[in-house]
Structure 1
């Protein structure tokens, strides 16, 4: 699972190594503001979230990854991930992690697929990295809040209307050899990033929604305890 982690981390967190350049375009809240001001507001808004849903469709080195996760600051989380031939759902609540995956996934973990394939499985803490990499909102947002503002790393791009919300666009050009990142920031005082689009070594889109939503996440019923399997 390590390659999946590096791709997703770069797409969801690496985009927030924020910088700045010339004057930005847009209307409303960000009218007349420079890209560094937009970047700073977006960073600060995202870093203080108590919950968010992240959805991504990414490709790196021929590997395609699709992920969706609703994450809360208290550690509760639920979502799904598809990578290559692997599909899995995951839930984390009250420090306990659960996975539901197909037989091929569990065979790769050295388990008898008939015991766990297609079933919810309660896994010991630290046994699987899947929920750990997707559900740690404090780590994700902490890296965002620590992002440094550097000069000459950003430029304005056209905004988009995303689910009825007007956005302004800014492009990170800090390392164009590896690619660029476009952030589409809600043109309002909230200044949340609604979409991140990557090109280059990692390509694809990450969507952010359900900002500070009250997620109703519960433990799956009748989960198999992994420690009780032979």
Structure 2
């Protein structure tokens, strides 16, 4: 097998990530937005409720501000699950806006696990035997080793840049798709606004932090189930190349 054919197989297997966010983008998430509740309990509870039920911005304003923040972000991470070819795929991604540095892991029951690490102008793949078998590679590389694939680095820089993923996802979401009702929910300790598809919460919702309008969570529609949880906006992600003794030579 030539290097060119190997590279094309690897690229076909990993280009899936470029559409990860787009799977639910036309509608955002599937979890119904919670309604604000009040308590007949203590004065402290009432005060807290009053603070969290302050008038919400419009759904369109929340979407616009979340888009603007996501597009101008220098880095971010997300984890979750999506449907790919009828099967659930677990996704773990972190990377910079321009794609020069990224770390993506995808796992499915049938096709195994693959990690794509792009750093310092090179791309490294680390995968289990099930993945290599599914890609038609006759000799699997050790699951704890990386294979360096520098020839496709430029392609990955474009496809796996945070900006490219965000643009593809959020460009499909418009204010005309949204319900006028804005919900509120705590997600992982973050107080969020929840905006949903106009067809109902079961067809999509986007969770945006109230403090700084960053995307926190998004879940898919009934036809494209998904949940992606976002974090580390504009953070130093600490992505580095694997140690040389963990890299397998192709020669």
Q: Is TM (by shorter chain) over 0.5?
A: yes
- Aligned twin of 1:10: 22
Gaps of 5+ in 1: 17-23
From 104, 126, 131, the equivalent of 2:130 is 104
Point out the more displaced range, 164-173 or 58-67.
58-67
Give the structure 1 partner of residue 121 of structure 2.
95
What is aligned with 2:231?
209
Check if 1:68 corresponds to 2:92.
Answer: yes
What does 1:1-150 correspond to in 2, within 5 Å?
1=13, 4-5=16-17, 8-11=20-23, 13-14=25-26, 31-60=55-84, 62-74=86-98, 75-85=100-110, 86-126=112-152, 135-143=160-168, 146=171, 149-150=174-175
The alignment yields a C-alpha RMSD, in angstroms, of 3.4
Larger Rg: 2
The 1:115/1:42 distance shift into structure 2, 3 A limit, reads closer
Measure the CA separation in 1 of the matches of 2:85 and 2:220.
Answer: 14
Select between 63-72 and 98-107 the one with higher mean Cα deviation.
98-107
Question: For the residues of structure 2 that align with 1:34 and 1:150, how far apart are their CA atoms?
Answer: 10
Change in Cα spacing, 1:134 to 1:203, as seen in structure 2 (3 Å) is: farther
Q: 1:111 to 1:172 in 2, by over 3 A?
A: same
Render the CA deviation track for 1:171-193: whole Å, top value 9, x for unaligned.
0237x7xx7220111012x2011
Secondary structure of the corresponding residue to residue 227 of structure 2: strand
Higher strand share: 1
SS at match of 1:97: strand
Query: CA contact under 8 A between 2:60 and 2:178: conserved in structure 1?
Result: no
Partner of residue 204, structure 2 = 181
- Matched pairs, number: 215
CA contact (8 A) 2:25 2:172 kept: no
Shift, 1:8, TM fit: 1.2
Task: Give distance in 2, aligned partners of 1:15 and 1:30.
Answer: 26
CA gap 1:167/1:3 in 2 versus in 1, 3 angstroms: same
- SS state of the match for residue 213, structure 2? coil
Cα offset for 1:144?
A: 5.6
| Residues 141 and 119 of structure 1, relative CA distance in 2, 3 Å threshold | same
1:166 aligns with 2:178: no
> How far has the Cα of 1:42 moved from its partner?
1.1
Equivalent-residue separation in structure 1 for 2:65 and 2:87 (angstroms): 33
Check the 8 A contact 2:14/2:116 in 1, yes or no. no
CA deviation vs aligned residue, 1:106-164 (integer Å, no higher than 9, x gap):
2344434354444211114338x8x5687321212334675674436333353221122
Secondary structure in structure 2 of the residue aligned to 1:33 = coil
